[in-house]
Amino acid sequence: MNKINAIILAAGKGARMNSTKPKVLQALSDKTLLQHVLIQAQQLCSQVFVVYGFGGEQVQQAINDDSIKWVQQVEQLGTGHAVVQAMPQINNDSISLILYGDVPLIEQSTLKKLIAQAEKQGVALLSVILDNPTGYGRILRKNGKIQAIIEQKDANIEQIAISEVNTGIMAVNSGLLKVYLDKLDTNNAQGELYLTDIIAMAVADGKIIASVIADNEFEVAGVNDKVQLAELERVFQKNQATKFMQNGLTLKDPLRFDCRGTLSFGQDCEIDVNVLIKGDVSLGDNTLIASNCILKNAKIGNNVAILPNSIIEDAIIGDGASIGPFARIRPDSNIGEDAKIGNFVEVKKSTIGKGSKVSHLSYIGDTTMGRAVNIGAGVITCNYDGVNKHQTIIGDGVFVGSDSQLIAPVTLGKNATIGAGSTITKDSPEGRLTLSRSKQISLKNWNKPIKKN
């Protein structure tokens, strides 16, 4: 195989995005448009050139990859002019693969076909059949062989009716490409150097243009505005969902599922509607993720139930645990086996022991909790003194009554009981009942307030 050079055209401003960011830095799932293209290019090519223009410094900083060769296109004078900028650094005995930074869903299998054809014929072109080809350059054929590409603004009525269009993606012998680029002129409606004009030049030289037709329209779809970006986002998510289901994941509605990261899962896992996966998430066997949950960088064990409207971030959930509904597990939390984190409970930077329960309306922060602990409703660990965070230690078998405050730093000994409504400021001994309440009184001369007119 010849040496392969990717030339990714990424100089456009993308004015229709109405954004301060260059078009190629708009996000599709968890990556920029350009990053999606780079992933494919770097897996196939020995060198990757990115031709940048508008916001070039911003693009380079966002990508932050020293292996990329950055090439500036000071003036945007057309696709041919953009490719010319990279050619001085490319050897003749190689293949140049032309890609676009705003065409993010091109598949590696398609590019491999294109490169293989270029190695045989010297010039290979990727096209696609569209029901509505408006705006695209049309592929002109004679006896089935490609003769040229005509841009819509330069096409006649008969040519405009053609449904096979140019994607702009091509693979060309680099030596040939340099020869043809030198011959380009601006004799067209746009007054630019069209890369597509090299096809007619190659045909005039007696070259056969190898043809690869994309199987999927989404592979070659470009992004010019936020509407098209949203449309491709849904295609991307649907494709991911299909792969997950083929590998055994149950999705109640694949059209209402988003994975903006990586997801691994065991057998018999089920995900309900409107679940968002971010970062790196793994699910064990027989795990249920109910509707409206957000999981980010979470490791979730076997036989776990994540109930509706719960958020888990940078945390570990042990086998058999139950989380939610409406629970929030914040970073650096480790929920033990068979533990229960219930309604409207927030856990932050804490370890919850096996079989412990925090069932409702509580905040547990900077806490190490043992096994079989029962935390009543409305309990909070007061871990912040306004300057520093402090630890709460709760031993095995502790029972904390409802509406209690644990003022850290504090330790509750094994099998201690905290009476409801207590404010605990000192360590509680093992096996003892600890409580703090003022004496209850009833006032004889008190009158209930009357509403004023």
Task: Mark the binding-site residues for acetyl-CoA, compressed into ranges.
Answer: 377, 383-384, 402, 420, 437
DSSP 250-309: EES-GGGEEEEEEEEE-TT-EE-TTEEEEEEEEE-TT-EE-TT-EEEEEEE-TT-EE-TT
Rounded distance, CA 353 to CA 333, Å? 11
Q: Which of 284, 279, 273 is nearest to 295 (CA)?
A: 279
The tally of CA atoms less than 13 A away on the side-chain side of residue 353 is 17
Rounded distance, CA 178 to CA 160, Å? 30
Q: Provide the annotated active-site residues.
A: 360
Cα separation values, 42 from 8, 35, 39, 65, 273, Å: 11, 10, 5, 11, 35
> φ and ψ at 392, to 5 degrees?
-115, 130
> φ and ψ at 245, to 5 degrees?
-65, -40
Helices (H), 68-217: 79-86, 108-121, 157-160, 174-182, 197-204
Rounded distance, CA 6 to CA 171, Å? 9
Which residue ranges are tagged as binding site?
9-12, 23, 73, 78-79, 100-102, 137, 151, 166, 224, 330, 348, 363, 374, 377, 383-384, 402, 420, 437
Structure tokens at 400: 């904390």
| Residue 104, SS3 per DSSP | coil
Cα separation values, 31 from 40, 88, 241, Å: 13, 30, 17
Contacts of 152 (CB under 8 A, 6+ apart): 134, 135, 136, 137, 138, 160
| Cβ atoms 245, 256 nearer than 8 A | no
| Residue 118, SS3 per DSSP | helix
| Residue 368, SS3 per DSSP | strand
DSSP 159-177: HHT--EEEEEEEEEEHHHH
Query: Tokens 């456009």 label which residue?
Result: 12
Widest Cα–Cα separation across the chain: 110
Which residue ranges are tagged as binding site for UDP-N-acetyl-alpha-D-glucosamine?
9-12, 23, 73, 78-79, 100-102, 137, 151, 166, 224, 330, 348, 363, 374
Identity of the residue numbered 18 = N
Q: Which of 72, 49, 68, 52 is nearest to 174 (CA)?
A: 49
Q: Are strands 410-412 and 392-394 parallel, antiparallel or unpaired?
A: parallel
